[in-house]
Structure 1
Amino acid sequence: MMKPFALALCALSLSVTMTGIGAVASAAAAPAEADFARYQPAATYDGISSSSLYVPMRDGVRLAVRIDRPTQGGKLVEGRFPVIWHHTLSISQQTSDGAGGRVSDFRRVQELVRHGYVVVQVARRGNGQSTGVRRGYHDRNEAQDAFDMTQWLARQPWSTGKVGVYGCSNTGDAALHVMTMRPPALAAVFAGCFSWHKYDAFRRGGIFAQWGTGPTRTVEDDMKLSPVDGDEGKTILREAAEEHQLSTPLFEMWKQLPYRDSWSSLVASRFWAEGSAASYAEQIRLSGVPLYIQGGWRDELRDQAFIAHANVPGSRVVIGPWKHCDSDDFTLLEEMHRFFDRHLKGVDTGIDKDAPIHYYTVNAPEGTQWRATAQWPLPQARMQPLFLNGAALSPRAARARPVSFTARYDVACPDAGSGSRVQPCHVAGSGASMAGPALAADTEVTGNAIADLWIASDQPDANIFAYLEDVAPDGSVTVVTEGRLKASLRKEATAPWTMPEGVPWHRAYAQDAQPLKPGEAVRLRFDMMPTSYVFRKGHRMQITLTGSDHRERARDIATPPRITLYSDPARPSSVAIPVIPAGR
């Protein structure tokens, strides 16, 4: 259990000087397993043969399938192999498919063909070369397709009957939905950067401030794709491209769903529930299928990895300093190979002896960045409250004047990236920033920070964003992690699934909405997404609060609210930071 501990301070002036929260010690790094991300068996075959075809589904929709099989000396190798497949957006692996164009090993899974696998790409209905209409985004039509496809692959003459699934981003979600259907042939799933519950991913804190809205493609876009074998004239591709235009416009669907229990007339469903793996958690557990989860500290969905891990017994997590679906120079493919060899071939790869969670600590001493743990949150973490007292952070509540600012709807962040890898950023003057004194020692923060704020607004609602930031001695600011909450959806509840210890949860049903009364202070509690980061000696921790974010889409508060932050003994605003004490 995480417990608070004392913070040593020396008051030198109105700007206090922090002498240390908890210095990083080299002993904090757990011994790394010998085989973690170092699995390099020799290739058995020297080439790959690709072919494609259409597979009809129960309702006549034809799914495009690309099959990569091993060759030796230029000849197709006969025999049976385990199958790994990817429920994607086109069999061509476009950048928008969730595996193409990124610095990611998800794009390299075909290399496992040389190690005795068949690797298969399947375009989801209403996407890519497949025919049909996309009703929602990971709806039960797609889930049934995934069941049927898994079993079809198991029956093929080149298949051993053991089938694995992989994917990242939208295809990571698709991989989870295969598990919800419990196909008998499914033996392992490797999924990255997915949502456990779509509301918490797409409308985090009740606010639509995220890049993900799903694919939108024109007929011309689809016609640029490579056709399936036998359709060189693109007759079926043309049919598919035209059918796709009847698909549900996903952005319009998301805008119809401001609450977790909202109904979409476009799909005749409370789609947050229908399209979320969390709704089928018991089916996932009953499947007993091993799950390996990949995440990144700079990915919008990183909290979903730990929530999924807490709800799927036996699951594993690897999370590094990466953006969405990236793995940079980390040998993720070797870890995927090790996982699939264990569960699809029965090879003792050593993975069963590993701790279930591997995480990277940013700015940790060289050689100690990768850590391993059996528990999350870390049992040694101590929640240290930092009180937002006027213009500064301090270890205890004090009577401070309220701080007011007006939400800015003109905020921009030109260097934040684009698409699925867009990042939060510090925009000077966009809200209120409160910094602590310079740190006297390197200080590790690992886990979820928890914001506990008292605010008022001159409007019936306000979108509250909180950022934990690292201020360097030269004044440059780095956003370490973030959280957000729509003030009207502040009512807390008990989640219907396991949450990491101490993380608040908001049901956010329509009946839970509590509009603000102008000038009346209310309490908001919400988490910041998990991180593992070392604030270096001489740097300062800073909390910035704003009423807007450059990533907001479909903003639903027309007039920028005037927001007031209170911090006094009766209304103490704070952010509790999960600090790893020195020597732990």
Structure 2
Amino acid sequence: MSPADGARIIDLDPGSHLVRDLWIPMPDGVRLHARAWMPADIDTAPAPVLLEYLPYRLDDWTSVRDSERHPFYAAHGYVSVRVDIRGTGSSEGLFEDEYSAAELNDGEEVIRWLAAQPWSTGRVGMFGISWGGFNSLQLAERGVEGLDAIVTVCSTDDRYDNDVHYMGGAVLGIDMAAWAGTMLAFASRPPRPEVVGESWLEIWRERLEKQEPLAPVWLSHQERDDYWRRGSACENYPGISAAVLAVGGWADPYHDTVFRLLENLPGPRKALLGPWSHQYPDRGLAPGPGIDFLGETLRWWDRWLKDEDTGVEQDPDLRVWIGESEPPATYYAERAGRWAGIPEWRRAPETTRFPLTGLGEAGDPSTVLLRAPLATGQDAGRFFPFGNATDLPPDQRAEDGRSRCVDLPVGGDGLNVLGSPEVRLRLRSFSPRAHVIVRLCDVAPDGSSALITRGVLNLTKRHGMDRADEMVPGQWEDVTVRLVSAGYRVAPGHRLRVAVSDQYWPWVWPHAGRSGLELDPAASTLHLPLYEGRQEQEVSFEPARHVRPITIGTPEMPDAPELPERMVQVDVASGETMLSVDPGYGGSRVYPDGLEFTESAREVYRIREDDPQSASAESQWTLVLSNQKPGGAAARPWRAEIRTRSLITAEDGDFVVRNWVAATAQDGDGEQVEVANRSFEARVPRTSA
């Protein structure tokens, strides 16, 4: 994914920094591959070190993004280091799982090694977006000596309830499957022959022979348990003494983390929350506006790693984008709204209560039945927006029509929301297992409905995410659905819509039963965190900028099919709804060293209206890497092709997970050889999901 034209380009003086490849030794003899961008005078003037630690291949897949960021820090007096996690890219060893004990133990060793180098001052900062933001928090929580500051972007402190696997205790069908399929494809890529030499094929074969798909592991932990507690910084906020700059985007699913860190961290902490998707805020990708994030982070590093007074401690606790009413769309180059500075944010604001009696039929306050169509949720948008054309939720009127709704009038001053709304419902279920989903929408005078936020609750988790308590059919209970946080102003004359459903496919994997809920509107309420802005500080940023990235080419692909990025099809005869998605991760490109890297993927989600057990989620990937004129340690041309398929279904009380991996290579003699052809099948009992 390449940056758009929205960011200013920085052309660095080539003499301002130098680049060195490193091998970082681990205690068990494994070496991790790293690249370091260093100040030009590093051999005579040691510098603080910045670390980004990822499984995404520094030699190719992240090299464009890396080239926009790491050289900038080097030119401003830092050694900026990008390390590939064990068993990924060209690092040695075997990859196991997300945030494994091996990954985090290695991370500690990397920090200690960097701090001990003669070119290091011994002070280390860590940063990253998504995975790199996760493990920055995780290693800070471990209290690694020398790690003095972190910048964590679009990350989570709660691996169970705020990640890609579960939401409100419900299986996230859309990303439990898609991300597991993506990681199967990513982990199947070979090391670079230019780095590891002629042994690349042997190393690759061993990786493929020993790797295991991840979805069965994740589905085996349907409650919050020790598996999820490992790497969840929320389990030990007091353990984090490093200075934390927490950064999120309203279009990113992890932005609740920003508020939790502000409210719970004991040490220095500040937060930035913009309109952004799952991207750095300076890459020129939608939605904007972007900011000079490099400049903001440089202020952070200079304060906490060089002891310079940069004014960051006088910044508001929270600098936040407050969105404003605008027509619903799946893409915005820039969102409507404004920046606000909240001087202090130590606890969640008080909420204002709104009754939901209107959920009943007009003029009838009695209870109402809730039994949404199984395909409710097709207009949910992408769980991980990356700035693509169809990422964001479209007009919600169709979804509203499949839900129970109540509209609340908005007065002449508008309605300003900042924080996490809650909806408290009195309900009863007709089966032991059920979900409830609540959406808040901004309804304009023309009737269009724009999603503000939403929340999910698997009712078996109503007493806690670490346990499973089935509902007693027919018994009334009061439950609380916590919605994802929002910063939004509903315009005067609009209406605030509360929409409730019991289905939300493919975000929420449906329970096997199909019986529905009954709601008591008279005993149900909405609780909104309203923002008055009385002590608000003015906030402004310089425009987005980044270093001129390396130049990559786009090969001609005459045979590549042109498919819609996101397409919903309904088979009227069978009642099947199919959602087909191109995740748009990278496409095809040619790197400066001659590597041609082609990738294509498709995700397909199916469900039939008559059967919740007809739900299926499938992910297919094809990747081809080749270099006909390699340099470095590669003596001969090479080519590798990987095809993966991942499929999750449910039957007879189990999740059924099937995976296939096929890999071929061009060996040293130019012959096509099979490297792997494996299939996997696992059945996982549905303990609560």
Provide TM-score, normalisation by structure 1: 0.77
1:271 paired residue among 210, 222, 227 = 227
| CA shift for structure 1 position 580 | 2.8
SS at match of 1:579: coil
TM-aligned CA distance change 1:109 to 1:378, over 3 Å:
farther
- Once the two structures are superposed, the pairs formed by residues 442-521 of structure 1 within 5 Å of their partners are 442-491=414-463, 506=464, 508-510=465-467, 513-521=468-476
Asked if the contact 1:390/1:401 (under 8 Å) is kept, the reply is no
Tell me, in whole angstroms, the C-alpha distance in 1 between the residues paired with 2:361 and 2:344. Answer: 36
Q: 1:486 to 1:94 in 2, by over 3 A?
A: farther
Counterpart Cα distance in 2 of 1:315 and 1:291: 5
> C-alpha separation between the residues in 2 aligned to 1:480 and 1:124?
37
8 A Cα contact 2:417 2:531, kept in partner = yes
Match of 1:346 among 307, 310, 319: 307
Aligned to 2:50: 84
Task: Mark the CA change 1:551 to 1:294 in structure 2 (over 3 Å): closer, same or farther.
Answer: farther
CA separation in 1, counterparts of 2:60 and 2:513? Answer: 40
Inter-CA distance 577–409: structure 2 relative to 1 (3 Å threshold): same
Partners of 1:161 and 1:185 within 8 A in 2: yes
Contact 1:90/1:122 (CA < 8 Å) preserved in 2? Answer: no
In structure 1, what is the Cα distance between the partners aligned to 2:304 and 2:252? 28
Q: SS of the counterpart of 1:533?
A: strand
Contact 1:44 1:116 in 2 (8 A): no
* Runs of 5+ unmatched residues, structure 2: 1-9, 282-287, 326-334, 536-689
Q: Structure 1 residues 526-535 or 209-218, which shifts more?
A: 209-218
Change (3 A) 1:244 1:346: farther
| Kept after mapping to 1: 8 A contact 2:410/2:490 | no
CA deviation map 1:127-158 (0-9, x unaligned): 22222223332122212111110011112222
Identify if the C-alpha distance between structure 1 residues 438 and 559 changes in structure 2 by more than 3 Å, giving closer, same or farther: same
Tell me what 1:20 maps to.
none
Q: Select which of 248, 251, 254 maps to 1:298.
A: 251
Q: Residue 131 of structure 1 contacts residue 240 of structure 1 at CA under 8 Å; is this kept in 2?
A: no
Aligned equivalents of 1:242, 1:218: Cα separation in 2:
16
Q: Distance in 2 between matches of 1:514 and 1:217?
A: 33
CA contact under 8 A between 1:109 and 1:333: conserved in structure 2?
no
| 1:255 partner amino acid | L
**Amino acid in structure 1 at the alignment position of 2:436:** I
Partner of 2:339: 369
Provide the C-alpha distance between the structure 2 equivalents of 1:401 and 1:52, rounded to a whole number of angstroms: 70
Residue matched to 1:402: 367
Alignment of 1:59-208 (within 5 A): 59-71=28-40, 78-92=44-58, 108-202=69-163, 203-208=166-171
The CA distance in 2 between the partners of 1:368 and 1:383, in whole Å, is: 23
Query: 1:276-425 residue pairs with structure 2 within 5 A?
Result: 276-284=232-240, 288-313=241-266, 314-327=268-281, 328=288, 329-363=290-324, 368-377=338-347, 382-390=351-359, 400-411=365-376, 413=378, 416-417=381-382, 419=384, 421=386, 423=392
* Equivalent-residue separation in structure 2 for 1:42 and 1:106 (angstroms): 12
Query: For residues 579 and 180 of structure 1, what CA distance do their matches in structure 2 show?
Result: 32
Kept in 1, the 8 Å contact 2:324–2:490? The answer is yes
TM-score, length-normalised on structure 2?
Answer: 0.66
Change (3 A) 1:366 1:193: closer
Query: What's the secondary structure of 2:248's corresponding residue?
Result: strand
Deviations 1:519-571, CA, capped at 9 Å, x for gaps: 33221113212111100111110011111223436x25113332222122xxx
CA contact (8 A) 2:59 2:89 kept: no
d(CA) in 1 for partners of 2:209 and 2:343? 47
Equivalent pairs counted in the alignment come to: 497
Q: Distance in 1 between matches of 2:400 and 2:67?
A: 37
CA distance in 1, matches of 2:526, 2:481: 10
Residue 637 (structure 2) aligns with: none
Q: What SS does the aligned partner of 2:455 have?
A: strand
CA shift, 1:283, in A, is 2.8
Residue 534 of structure 2 is aligned to residue 567 of structure 1:
no
Check conservation: 2:49, 2:81, Cα contact below 8 A: yes
Quote the offset at 1:181 in angstroms. 2.8
Structure whose residues are more often strand by fraction: 2
Cα displacement string for residues 259-317 of structure 1 (whole angstroms, at most 9, x for unaligned residues)? 113xxxxxxxx311223223343432xxx211111111222111122212322122211
Q: Which residue of 2 aligns with 1:16?
A: none
Q: CA deviation at 1:517?
A: 2.8
Does structure 2 conserve the Cα–Cα contact (< 8 Å) formed by 1:106 and 1:167? no
Q: Runs of 4+ in structure 1 displaced over 6 angstroms? A: 41-45, 364-367
Tell me the residue number matched to 1:256: 220
Report the Cα distance in structure 2 between the residues aligned to 1:468 and 1:320, rounded to whole angstroms. Answer: 20
Query: Helix, strand or coil for the counterpart of 1:271?
Result: helix
Report the CA distance shift for 1:258/1:217 in structure 2 as closer, same or farther (over 3 A): closer
Amino acid at match of 1:272: W
- Closer, same or farther: CA 304–564 of 1 in aligned 2, 3 Å: same
Instruction: Check 1:244–1:484 CA distance in 2 against 1; reply closer, same or farther (3 A cut).
Output: same
Q: Confirm or deny: 8 A CA contact 2:433 2:513 kept in the other structure.
A: no
Q: Is the 8 A contact 2:17 2:40 kept in 1?
A: yes
- Shift of the 326–392 alpha-carbon distance from structure 1 to 2, 3 Å rule, reads farther
Partners of 1:384 and 1:578 within 8 A in 2: no
1:188 and 1:340 in contact (8 A); partners too? yes
Does residue 536 (structure 1) correspond to residue 500 (structure 2)? The answer is: no
* Aligned counterparts of 2:343 and 2:43: Cα–Cα separation in 1: 41
What does the per-residue CA deviation read over 1:466-507, in whole Å, with 9 as the maximum and x for residues that have no partner? 11110111111111111111112212xxxxxxxxxxxxxx3x
- The amino acid across from 2:216 in the alignment is E
Whether 2:19 is the aligned partner of 1:50: answer yes
Does the residue aligned with 2:413 lie in a helix, a strand or coil? coil
1:242, CA displacement in angstroms? 3.6
- Contact kept? 1:440, 1:537, Cα under 8 Å: yes
**Secondary structure class of the residue paired with 1:362:** strand
Deviations, residues 397-420 of structure 1 (Å, cap 9, x unaligned): x97122223233223536824755
CA change 1:118–1:322 in 2 (3 A) is same
Q: Aligned-pair distance for 1:441? A: 2.8
Cα-to-partner distance string for 1:194-234 (whole Å, 9 max, x where unaligned): 221211213221012263645524489523x65564x354x
Structure 1 counterpart of 2:183:
216
Q: Structure 1 pair 419/355, CA: closer, same or farther in 2 (3 Å)?
A: closer
Change (3 A) 1:366 1:469: closer
Read off the aligned partner of 1:469 and give its amino acid letter: C
Q: Tell me the secondary structure at the aligned position of residue 79 of structure 1.
A: coil
Tell me the amino acid that sits aligned with residue 301 of structure 2. F
Q: Does 1:243 align with 2:207?
A: yes
Check if 1:558 corresponds to 2:518. Answer: no
Is residue 2:534 matched to residue 1:580?
no
3-state SS of the aligned residue for 1:409?
coil
AA in 1 matched with 2:525: S
2: distance between equivalents of 1:441 and 1:162? 50
What does the per-residue CA deviation read over 1:22-44, in whole Å, with 9 as the maximum and x for residues that have no partner?
Answer: xxxxxxxxxxxxxxxxxxx9989
Gaps of 5+ in 1: 1-40, 262-269, 492-505
Instruction: Report the alpha carbon displacement of residue 438 of structure 1 after superposing the two structures with TM.
Output: 4.9
